[in-house]
Structure 1
Amino acid sequence: MSIHVIKVPDIGEGIAEVELVAWHVQPGDVVAEDQALADVMTDKANVEIPSPVSGKVIALGGKLGELISVGAELIRIDTGDVAGHAAGAAVEERTPPAAAVPAPIAAPTPPAPLKMPAPAASAAVAEAVEKPLASPAVRHRARELGIDLQHVKTTDGRITHQHLDALLTGKSAGAAQGKRSLYEQRDDEQIVPVIGLRRKIAQKMQESKRRIPHFTYVEEVDVTEIEALRAELNTRWGAQRGRLTLLPLLMRALVLGVQRYPQVNALFDDEAGKLIRYGATHIGIATQTDNGLVVPVVRHAEARDLWSSAAEVARLAQAARNGHATREELSGSTITITSLGALGGIVSTPVINHPEVAIVGVNRIVLRPMIIGGAVVPRKMMNLSSSFDHRVVDGSYAAEFIQAVRGYLEHPATLFVE
């Protein structure tokens, strides 16, 4: 037996410990080199730890949700029989099967069962063949709960959140999916561990509300003209450059607004007692994923045109939702935009992304009757619900900033005038 000990790697940026959020293997599993062993969570991102060797897992170094120090033992792998497994697999592949001799066939016969390669040489192939059907959200939740999807029984082969709920409540999946009476009494409970990204979100929100005295300012904006401009741009250039949403236009208005009011494009180090204003505008885009809220960052928005901003937002959102966004892509913002899209409501009170000092919230667009020039006319209206750090941003300053953004949106030609 030859034991290889894998330790928690130094991920950099002064990180001393990580949270264990998922095991991809269990004791007794045979793993191949570069196969994913575990996921750990840093302050900013999920990091996958691959195996540097092939062999059999003999011990795991922690439970889900535990904080593990960098350099601590993560997993032990026995590499002693790897060569034997590989040699056996090679001999087996070279030996022709007995049924390989042609013979007359009177009637169609079922195909022979698929013969899987030796585990040490092809664990990835076996995983691909036997991997249960489940969405990424279901897989992530199962990892957080410590549920092995291989052991979840279904009628159609696809695992859903209801099957996980059924396991948590001790009931069968069929009962979980069955219809309930409208007035049926329920006494079931669910215990959902708050670990991984969800724990980081909770800690971040708590820190932001604890350390920052929030001041929220709401203003309505007539977006009729800028929506007309967006429609015209999409008609002319959508096929070649991609279709625009309102977001890149709002980002442009934000860039111009912070140039006039730089106090809101800043980070406040309250421990050192200093405010750092930035000439660059690195806009965080609050993005909802199946695993929780993350904030990928569009860097140097001041140097991007509308289509460049739109493309970067789309790229970052896709990376965030797939869980592939890097630490660099999830950090370094100087001001954040948050939106609930069609669910945006009338008013919200967004939480500032600490240590930033401002966040601009977008509510949904509604068609409302407005009085213009003494006449009642239909206009597309939208509220901006924005929060500011009242320690360094005064109320009047915040209001002036939002009024400037409003002016750019209501008179969209000014977005492109030097």
Structure 2
Amino acid sequence: MAEVKEFTLPDLGEGLTDAEVVRWLVEVGEVVAVDQPVVEVETAKAMVEVPCPYGGVVTARYGAEGEELAVGAPLLTVAVGADASAPAGGAEGPCSGGADGVVAEADGAGAAGDGGAGETSGAVLVGYGTGAPPARRRRVRPTPVSAAATPVNGVASGYGRHAVTPEVPVRAEAEAEAAEPAPGPVPVISPLVRRLARQNGVELRTLTGSGPDGLILRADVERAIGAAAAPAAPAEPDAAAAPAPAADAGEVRIPLRGLRGVVADKMSRSRREIPEATCWVDVDATGLLAARRAMNAAGGPDAPKISLLALLARICTAALARYPELNARVDTEAREIVRLERVHIGFAAQTDRGLVVPVVRDAHGRSAESLSEELGRLTGAARDGSLTPGELTGSTFTLNNYGVFGVDGSTPIINHPEAAMLGVGRIVPKPWVHEGELAVRQVTQLSLTFDHRVCDGGVAGGFLRYVADCVEQPAVLLRGV
């Protein structure tokens, strides 16, 4: 007898609590192997292909493409031990009911015994792997139907080619909210249905479920939302009534979820917690541009080119060695400043998904050439959406080159929980007094936004002045080599 196992959205690490379904890689009725990717999801940090730890026949998928699922919510169910040669049930099968699809538990405590459980996965993602048996084991138990619904090639009819209606579910989700107060529990088992109702102000007790035994399904909640949004019937004209306000010209609502939601939360937290201040200075970058040209020419035509951002990152690591107060964070609970020995430089990158901050690990130990290579690799990964969560976390200082947008200055929000961010404006030719004479030079503006709790203006000004000196005269770096 095949055993139906439920695979839930695993913990993808780095404190992520939900993910959006981008693309399903398998269909209901399809045979999957252990560790085969079954769905592509987008977290707040990266796109991830999620592998399934079970091998068997897919009996249900939970969540439509574009829907957001919480960690621990069902992703799909797999019939383990089914005959892989049996005809697939297809998307019209009995268990393809999306987020509201359910599988009835087998009767008896020993019905889901360990025998014949099939192969399971290794530890491919945080949150699941080998070891202890699954907490819940399920079988598909069909309701009585015609003789045409008998098993085919040993595959249970609950997921074979013959459509049957699942029985009333008898399980309650571990993640479901606590029972509602009297007069009794609401007939809802899906936490997704509960969340949809809560987000749209729908009182579940007022609904009559269309599912078995009055079970409230997602469709019931969506109908209630639609009914609430429908315009009320026009009232009889009242000459004494005040004139109605002009109709709204229309609005577009964009959910703050996924990457955009995390960015919004992080920026809001930064502004709430960090008393930030900004100082800036105009700098003659002609010398830095000349140094870059010389370095690239010395490497030959086939050598990798060193980017301007890499040189700025190298200058920042030297400045942080002189002013370690800015390579720090504040532990608000302990009321302590935590200075960090290693420098992990994040750099702001604009992508189709939104603003991301890839991280160059151990930037203090890298040469300009190594920094340029790693910055190029991370930039390419950011553009094609292949950055891993680990490549988007852990920065201790951020470099923000907003000059690529054609602007001169900015007062950016600090990348919480860091203590500082250096911003670089566009480099443009401007009149400048050079060696006592007016000349046209390549000028840029540098701005430093810093957490005023970790240092005062003297440290921040000293850091920014050192960076500016290195930009104007790159030979200054050689003093610290």
For normalisation by structure 2, the TM-score amounts to: 0.60
Matched with 1:17 is 17
Could you tell me which of 391, 397, 400 is aligned with 1:329?
A: 391
* Selected match of 2:321 from 220, 243, 259: 259
Query: What is the Cα deviation at residue 59 of structure 1?
Result: 3.6
**Distance in 1 (alpha carbons) for counterparts of 2:67 and 2:282:** 43
| Partner residue of 1:270 out of 332, 335, 350 | 332
Instruction: Give CA deviations for 1:342-376 in whole Å, capped at 9, x if unaligned.
Output: 31411111111111000001100010011234421
Rounded Cα–Cα distance in structure 1 between residues aligned with 2:300 and 2:311: 15
Structure 1 range deviating more: 272-281 or 306-315: 272-281
Partner residue, 1:396: 458
- Match in the other structure for 2:57: 55
Distance 1:360 1:65, change over 3 A: farther
Q: Deviations over 1:35-84 (max 9, x none)?
A: 33241526x444321234353452415885645243x4222245646322
| Counterpart position of 1:348 | 410
Equivalent in the alignment of 1:73: 74
Aligned length: 316
Match of 1:41 in 2: 43
- Please name the residue that 1:377 is paired with: 439
Does the 8 A contact of 1:6 with 1:75 survive in 2? Answer: yes
Does structure 1 conserve the Cα–Cα contact (< 8 Å) formed by 2:425 and 2:445? Answer: yes
Quick check: 1:298 aligned with 2:360? yes
Question: For residues 238 and 285 of structure 1, what CA distance do their matches in structure 2 show?
Answer: 28
TM-score (norm 1): 0.69
**Cα distance in 1 for residues equivalent to 2:269 and 2:354:** 17
> What whole-Å deviation, never above 9, does each CA across 1:211-247 have from its counterpart, x for those lacking one?
1112111111111011011112222215333112211
Counterpart Cα distance in 2 of 1:307 and 1:391: 34
- Give the deviation of 1:2 after TM superposition: 4.9
Letter paired with 2:394: G
Letter aligned with residue 232 of structure 1: A
Contact 2:63 2:69 in 1 (8 A): no
What SS class does the counterpart of residue 395 from structure 2 fall into?
Answer: coil
SS at match of 1:354: coil
Q: Following the alignment from structure 1 to structure 2, what is the Cα–Cα distance between the partners of residues 305 and 211?
A: 35
Q: Which moved more, 1:354-363 or 1:225-234?
A: 225-234
More strand by share: 1
Distance 2:322 2:314 in 1: 13
Distance 2:31 2:272 in 1: 45
CA separation in 1, counterparts of 2:277 and 2:16? Answer: 34
**CA separation in 2, counterparts of 1:413 and 1:337?**
21
Q: State the Cα distance separating 1:26 from its structure 2 match.
A: 8.3
* 1:416 Cα deviation after fit: 2.8
After superposition, the Cα gap between the structure-2 partners of 1:373 and 1:410, relative to the gap in structure 1 and judged at 3 Å, is: closer
Change (3 A) 1:35 1:57: farther
1:242 aligns with 2:287: no
The aligned counterpart of 2:419 is: 357
What displacement does 1:204 show? 1.1
Unaligned 5+ segments in structure 1 are 87-185
Taking the aligned partners of 1:399 and 1:326, their CA distance within structure 2 comes to 35
Residue 4 of structure 2 aligns with an amino acid whose one-letter code is: I
Deviation at 1:269, TM superposition (A): 1.4
- Give structure 2 stretches of 5+ with no counterpart: 89-247
Q: Which structure has the greater CA radius of gyration?
A: 2
| Native 8 Å contact 1:21 1:41 kept in 2 | no
Change (3 A) 1:83 1:309: same
* 1:279-290 equivalence runs, <5 A: 279-290=341-352
Match of 1:190 among 252, 261, 282: 252
Q: Distance in 2 between matches of 1:56 and 1:252?
A: 51
Equivalent residue, structure 1, for 2:86: 84
Give 1:262 shift: 0.8
Q: For each residue in 1:273-320, what CA deviation from the matched residue of structure 2 results, as whole angstroms up to 9, or x when unmatched?
A: 111112222111111111011111111112111110000011111222
What is the identity, as a one-letter code, of the residue corresponding to 2:76? Answer: I
SS of equivalent residue, structure 1 residue 409: helix
Partners of 2:359 and 2:392 within 8 A in 1: yes
Contact kept? 1:280, 1:300, Cα under 8 Å: yes
Distance 1:353 1:254, change over 3 A: same
User: In the alignment, which residue of structure 2 is the partner of 1:30?
Assistant: 30
**Paired residue for 2:4?**
3
Kept in 1: contact 2:11–2:17 (CA 8 A)? no
Identity of aligned residues (%): 38
Cα distance, 1:5 vs. partner? 1.4
The secondary structure found in structure 1 opposite 2:268 is helix
2:175 — aligned with what?
none
